[in-house]
Structures are given as structure tokens and as C-alpha cells.
A and B are shown apart, each in its own frame.
Chain A
Amino acid sequence: MYQYDAVDQEFVADRAREFREQVARRLSGELSEDQFKTLRLMNGLYLQLHAYMLRIAIPYGSLNARQMRRLAHIGRTYDRGYGHFTTRQNLQFHWIKLRDAPDILDQLAEVDMHAIQTSGNCIRNVTSDPYAGATAEELDDPRVWSEAIRQWSSLHPEFSFLPRKFKIAITAAPNDRTAAKVHDIGLMIRRGRDGQLGFEVIVGGGLGRTPYVGPTIAEFLPANRLFSYLEAILRVYNRHGRRDNIYKARIKILVAALGAEEFARQVAEEWAKIGPEGDLPDTELARIRGAFATTVFEALPATSEVFETAKAADPALARFARNNLRPHKKPGYTIVEVSLKTIGDTPGDATSDQMDVIADLAERYGQDDIRVTHEQNLVLPHVRLDDVPEVFAQLQATGLASANVNLISDIIACPGLDYCALANARAIPVAQQIAQTFADPDRAEAIGELKIKISGCINACGHHHVGHIGILGVDKKGEEFYQLTLGGSGAEDAAVGKMLGPALPYDKVAAAIDTLVEVYLRERHEGERFLDTYRRTGVEPFKEAVYADAH
């Protein structure tokens, strides 16, 4: 993976030092809270219900064992022994004290990490494919481009005070694991007829109050012209995005108001004026690419006898293999998904002890490489099949062996009203109740792929719009109610879910999900996922069943 050089190291160290000064000026009263808020947010520090929350960037969801151990250490020392992995592949600590924040940033800088631009109206952490460098599906390694964008966007002089936050996702595989079409910019790596690399550029997707699947404004942008094109998009947005209404300030509103064609025209016009001077030189791209090319794989047989024997002897391992392993590009290797959705626990949470175990496993069996998925799980991208039984055993010992990836209990949930100052309703306990309803692993497997996503407010951090079943917490005269949507998808077949009907009270949600699943099992044709059945039948049979039960 990418290794910081002296430039990168000094950059984050300078930034940490700057924040220490800003904190001192706030504590002395020299800075007002209003002035300080913008500064702390640009370093990922929020004030939530119980304490400060620090959001640490995990650029494109990639980290090594040393970094994971440092996160574990910070969790133990400054938080309550755990951390929360988010839908943007970041990590949040929920019990941070302002007085500790400068020390924490120093500790992060020591291991080449930071919290730069994890909040604020700037270009946020880039989302990328957690299987990058490991899956045979990809046309190129998206981390190369992600890292280049990370650097380009860091303290960008022109684009640090945008109308609103700005999120970029990059994928190079036809199976989109980044939700690219619901980002401000989604970049999909394509190969032209002549073999040249390029990007399909999607702009103006988004969730929140006004969800959109973004339109494509460039079918094929030559890869070496990426940065001038990004500059053109950001410049058009910085100049013309709305600043009078926070709910209409995202780029999706501008794109929708102008129409994709007119927006594309304005970008093309600006891009022509910028010219290649705005691009990153090939030498720098080659340098970054080199950093990702260091993973060395052994020549192994495609099947592992050790693994096959262990699997035959242990049904739990067999179940884990069915649900949590993904094909690797090299024979004899596999991608291991580690579910952070243990039934009854908080989705996305890992204890410091668990982080240490993952770090050990990555170092010992996984080429020192760990990924975070936008679905709030972890990935060991390069594990030899021979080592899977041992990895599984160690995951079991630390309580991280849930074999439920992509199943109904693999639920995305934002922190919700239990922590968040913006939330209207809780999300975590709803996820816990649903997971418990489907705790029977045979039943969960029989149901198959089903993505439930829960947000505690309309800001949609829990991506509810793109859940096969989406759940949105609302405040109805002071009580927690939940609005259900069906048919959303954040993948390559992206779609915004449709409202099922009136919102349900807190204690009726899990039962309603059970009813939806029963309808699906009754209606489905061979090989159909929940989403496929819904798309075929429409909302009616589901609606009828849920609201018949509610009466």
C-alpha cells in the first residue's frame, strides 16, 4: 500500500500542530465557538450529545496493521475501548475530550494518519473499492487514483470553502462496492476501444433530503486528464452552487437545476480553459502506482487441501466460507470479509481488542493490508486459502466470525439519536432488534442477499435511500417513528427506494421487516434476491401485508 514519504509526513505533522494552536486559542477565548467550529470540523471534530466525536480518515478504506493498532490504542486511551467504522470507510470515536484532541492528532500523524477534511464544506475522504488490488474484476487499481485525489484535495486552496461537503467515489470493477452513483462525483474506470484507460464521470448523485442517482456527464475521460477535469467540475460548483439554503447547496441540486447536459457543457468549457496544466504529471502517478505494486503473491494451487478438509469437518467454517469469502485474483488466495455485525452488537463497532486481533491477522496472514467497507465491515484482502481455518478460529475467539456478510443481519446503521446531535430517532437499537429477529443463520441464508440500511435522520448517513429495505427514523410529535422504503440499491444497479406507507412506531419495525421477508419468500422466483422480487412485483404485495398486520 501507499507509504508516506517525508513530504506527506511533514504535511500531517504541520496540520496537527496547527490544530493544537487553534485549540489553545479557543480555550483562551480568542476564538469564538462559531469561528472554532469550522476549524474543528475541518479536522473531523464534532460536538455530539455526550462528548466530542472525532472522525478519523481512512483514505479509501485502506490501512495497515500498525495503523489499526494505533486506532486500538487511541480507543483504549482516550475513548471507551472501542471505535465505530462508518459508511464512508472512516472511523469515529464517540467519547473524545477537546483537551485530548491535539494529542490524538499527533498520535495519528506518527502512523501516517489524520482527520483532515473528514467534515466541513470541502472535499472529503475518497471512497473506493475495498477489494482493490485483490479482485480480478478490476480494470485498474483504483487506489492509485484515490491516493492522488487524497493529496490533490488536501487543503486545496480554492476548494476548501465549497457551498457544501463534497464526496468522491472511485471504482474499477463492474460490481460497484462504493455506491459511486450516489456520490457528488462517481468515477468508474473504463477501458477504451484502443485499450486506453479512462473514467466514466458521474456527477450529482446523492442521498440526504433529495436523493438522486447521478447522471453521467462524461462517458470516457482519458485517465491522464482527470485532475483538470475535477478542477473544472469543482470550479463550476464553487461558483454556481447555491449558498443561500443549506438543503439546496449540494452539487446534485445544481446539476438537477441546470440539467446534466448544460452542466456538462459548462464543465467542458471550463476544462478547455484549464488545459493539461491542471493535470498531474505521469511521473507522479507512476510513483504512486509503484507504491501499490509491492504486494507479492506466491504461486499456489487453486484449491487448498487444508481448507477443503477443515471446511468439510466444520459446518461453521463452511458457512463462513459461503458468506464471507470472495474470489481473489490469484489462485490459492481469497478475500476475507470480517463482519462487524455480530447479532446484538452495534453495527460497525469494533473494540480495541478486536482491532488488535485484526492487526495481528493482517500482519501474519494478510500481507499487512486491511480494508474498511462502506457497509461497515472489515476486509483482509489477501489471505491464503491454507490460512483461512486459522484466521477463522482467531476471529471466532474474538467474536468477529459472524457469517452474515450481505445477509439480512448485515445492517448499515448510523449512530442515530444515541450519539448524534442531528438525529431524530435511534438507529442502532432498531438494527439490533432486526438482527435478533433473523438470528437463525439457516433462515438468514435461505433469505439470501438483503441489504437493510437505517438512518436516524434525513441526512441519510445510514444510506437508507439505497437499502433494499431502507429505514428512516423520524420524529412524529415527539416519538420515534420509522419510514420504510423498498427497492433502493447503492450498487451498479443504483436506485432510490420507494416509500412503503405511513411510518411505523419503534416497537413495530422488526415485525414489519419480518412480514416483508415472508412476502418475499412467498413471491420469489428461483434465483431472485429480495430486490429482484420487489422489482418484479412492485410494492403492492408488501404494502398490503405490512399494513394489514398493523391494523
Chain B
Amino acid sequence: MKALTANRLIDGDVVFWKAGKWVERFGDADLFDDPGAAEAAEGQAKSQPTVVIDPYLIDLMESDGLWAPLSYRERIRALGPTNHPSHGKQAEGGEVIEALLHADGAARSSGRVNLIKRK
């Protein structure tokens, strides 16, 4: 399972792809079962250079019956920094956030497909 993510150009916020638009919560993101559909969405996203920066697909894993990013880095992006629980998306709480917080196991700290680190 995959999701499509990026940072929004205007404010840098972490966003996820949902039916051709960008949403702020991982819990609202489209989940791609079909790699072809995922890549098609990524292609569409890349044609929006004034909306988002550097869209990319991430791998997901199951956690507490819900989906969570496989990598630790992507979980931190979907949640917020671990040193400030009140900062970032985790502040909102809820079921999906809980599942992300408890996601455990073989996290790859770079979980993005085709990782290119950026400044």
C-alpha cells in the first residue's frame, strides 16, 4: 500500500494526495493498492510545481488495524516532532494519530520511494 505526499509550496506544510487535491491529514489521504494508479497520481502531482514541492510516494504498513507510513521519517512528517507533542499534526489527536504514534516494527528511516534528500 502506498500514499502520495509532498510539502505545500506556500507554507511548507506536509500534505497528502486525495482525489486530485491535497489534504493535510494523513488519515484523509488516498491509499493506493494499485502501483499503476499510484504512479499516475504522482505524475499528475509533479505537474503542479506552483502548488507543491517534490511530491513522492511512500510505503505504508498496517498498525492497529489502520495504515501508517512504513518509515520513521514519514511518521514524523505525518505527526510532528517527537520533542514537542503539541506541535504539528499530532496535536489534533484521534484514532489515526494514535495508530501512527504506536506504529512499530521495521521502520525504514528513509521511507520514501526513490529517496533524494533535500535542503
Contacts and interface: CB of A to CB of B under 8 A. Distances in A.
Direct contact of A and B (CB under 8 A): yes
Interface of A: 26-29, 32-33, 37, 41, 46-52, 80, 94-99, 119, 346, 417-419, 421-422, 424-426, 428-429, 432, 475, 477-480
A479 B107 contact: yes
B33 interface: no
A33 B83 contact: no
12 contacts: A27-B9, A33-B54, A50-B81, A52-B12, A97-B10, A98-B12, A421-B119, A424-B109, A432-B83, A478-B108, A479-B107, A480-B72
Interface range on chain B: under 10, 10 to 19, 20 to 34, or 35 or more? 20 to 34
State the majority secondary structure of interface residues on B.
Answer: loop
A475 B12 CA distance: 25
Given A28-B50, A50-B14, A478-B71, A422 B119 contact: yes
Contacts of B11: 51-52, 97-99
B110 A421 contact: no
Contacts, number: 99
Given A32-B49, A426-B82, A41 B71 contact: no
B101 interface: no
Nearest to B13: A51
Contact of B7 (A47, A94, A432, A480): A47
Interface of B: 7, 9-14, 49-50, 53-54, 71-73, 76-77, 80-84, 87-88, 106-111, 117-119
A41 B109 CA distance: 25
Contacts of B111: 478
Given A41-B119, A418-B83, A419-B81, A97 B12 contact: yes
Contacts of A99: 10-11
Given A29-B50, A417-B73, A478-B109, A49 B14 contact: yes
A50 B82 contact: no
Contacts of A37: 118-119
B92 to A, nearest CB: 14
Q: Give the interface centre of B14, B80, B83, B108 by most chain A CB atoms within 10 Å.
A: B83
Q: Give the interface centre of A27, A50, A51 by most chain B CB atoms within 10 Å.
A: A50
B2 to A, nearest CB: 17
Contacts of B107: 478-479
Given A47-B12, A52-B12, A478-B108, 4 more contacts: A50-B13, A95-B87, A417-B72, A480-B109
A119 B119 contact: yes
Nearest to B86: A80
A208 B82 CA distance: 25
Contacts of A51: 7, 11-13
Given A33-B49, A46-B119, A429-B82, A27 B14 contact: no
A91 B54 CA distance: 26
Contacts of B117: 421-422
A381 to B, nearest CB: 30
B80 to A, nearest CB: 6
A50 B80 contact: yes
Contacts of B77: 49-50
B83 A80 contact: no
